[in-house]
């Protein structure tokens, strides 16, 4: 049976039998040779290559010697990267805090990124670990074992570290993760050394690429693999309902958070990735941060950055920082 993704792609293809319309642009003759200002002409698409002067499309500007130049009227391209930079920079940073964000509008395919530095993943790498396991299982033409499914549920829904370590070993640690990420299209992510999966290095743009593998149509993961991973990300434990979900306009979100106090500095890495619905549209969102003195301050930073980043596309006012969830107090553990 044809997959739903294949059906969607076929439905999106334009019909080859549709007649083509051609547009020719009318010119304006300038009388007197020295006319000033700009004259606008109208052209209408007609089958067979003819055009009627009935809708504005080009401008003719008088030139010396009575000649006219025809200039197309074009809409300026929106620089979403610049808009996001402006929006995210309004988020207050204190001390050693740093933040990076990336957003993809799933309807238009437009994306924007603020910052290209690498960050520790902490527990957001658990999405990557499970995506790698699912890809490997597809290659072997097998289903996940009962034990693997138990590990996967605890790892994503409860952010259980022992389960993550078990699956990290099953996929072949960093070597297995890196091989899968190469196929997924990630270019700035490197698995952590040895058992240190939480110190995998990544960028916001790479996390956006990973989210497209989980939620997008053009994915190396099968429909069933995507649905399985999405389902777990929609069922996150209640005390982890924070992060990019702050940018959602309701309950429609799926996410994975990560938080880690670095032993070398005592400062916190706090990250969040997922899909949110805002303004009636779906967005993939990744926010990475480091340098917060407490987990709660890191959560506040991530939520404020997520709101500002998504507001780049929705046009909403996201100047107020998000407040941290009371249940997400600093625990001093890796997750």
Domains, the chain, with CATH or none: 18-72 (no CATH), 80-314 (3.40.710.10)
Secondary structure (3-state) at 132: helix
pLDDT of residue 261: 97
CB-based contact 116:102 (threshold 8 Å): no
pLDDT over 80 at 266, yes or no:
yes
Helices 295-314/80-88 angle, 10° precision: 140
Neighbouring CB atoms inside 10 A of 321's CB total 17
Nearest-angstrom CA–CA distance, 306 and 286: 8
pLDDT over 80 at 252, yes or no:
yes
pLDDT of residue 91: 94
Secondary structure (3-state) at 65: coil
Q: Which residue has better confidence, 268 or 316?
A: 268
pLDDT in tens, 314-330: 987 655 433 333 333 33
The neighbouring-strand residues paired with 287 are 101, 272
pLDDT of residue 46: 37
Neighbouring CB atoms inside 10 A of 258's CB total 26
pLDDT over 90 at 190, yes or no:
yes
pLDDT over 60 at 18, yes or no:
no
pLDDT in tens, 274-309: 999 999 999 999 999 999 999 999 999 999 999 999
Cα-based distances in Å from 79 to 107, 112, 282, 286: 17, 9, 20, 19
pTM over 0.85: no
pLDDT of residue 73: 65
């Amino acid at each position: 049976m044809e997959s739903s993704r294949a059906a969607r792609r076929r439905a999106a293809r334009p019909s080859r039998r549709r007649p083509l319309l051609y547009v020719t642009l009318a010119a304006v003759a300038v009388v007197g040779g020295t006319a000033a200002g700009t004259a606008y002409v109208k052209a209408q698409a007609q089958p067979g290559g003819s055009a009627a002067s009935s809708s504005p499309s080009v401008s003719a500007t008088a030139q010396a010697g009575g000649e006219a130049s025809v200039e197309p009227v074009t809409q300026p391209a929106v620089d979403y990267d610049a808009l996001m930079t402006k929006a995210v920079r309004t988020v207050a940073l204190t001390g050693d805090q740093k933040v990076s964000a990336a957003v993809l509008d799933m309807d238009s395919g437009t994306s924007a990124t603020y910052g290209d530095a690498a960050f520790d993943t902490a527990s957001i790498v658990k999405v990557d670990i499970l995506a790698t396991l699912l890809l490997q299982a597809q290659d072997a033409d097998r289903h996940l074992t009962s034990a693997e499914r138990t590990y996967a549920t605890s790892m994503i829904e409860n952010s259980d570290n022992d389960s993550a370590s078990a699956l990290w070993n099953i996929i072949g640690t960093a070597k297995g993760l890196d091989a899968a990420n190469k196929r997924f299209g990630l270019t700035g992510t490197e698995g952590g050394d040895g058992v240190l999966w939480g110190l995998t290095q990544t960028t916001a743009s790479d996390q956006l690429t990973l989210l497209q593998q989980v939620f997008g149509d053009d994915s190396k993961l099968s429909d069933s693999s995507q649905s399985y991973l999405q389902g777990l990300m929609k069922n996150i434990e209640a005390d982890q309902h924070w992060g990019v979900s702050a940018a959602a306009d309701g309950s429609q979100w799926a996410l994975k958070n990560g938080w880690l106090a670095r032993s070398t500095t005592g400062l916190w890495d706090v990250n969040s990735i997922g899909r949110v619905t805002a303004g009636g549209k779906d967005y993939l969102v990744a926010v990475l941060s480091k340098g917060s003195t407490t987990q709660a301050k890191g959560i506040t930073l991530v939520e404020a950055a997520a709101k500002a980043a998504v507001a780049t596309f929705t046009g909403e006012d996201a100047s107020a920082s998000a407040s941290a969830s009371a249940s997400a107090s600093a625990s001093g553990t890796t997750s």
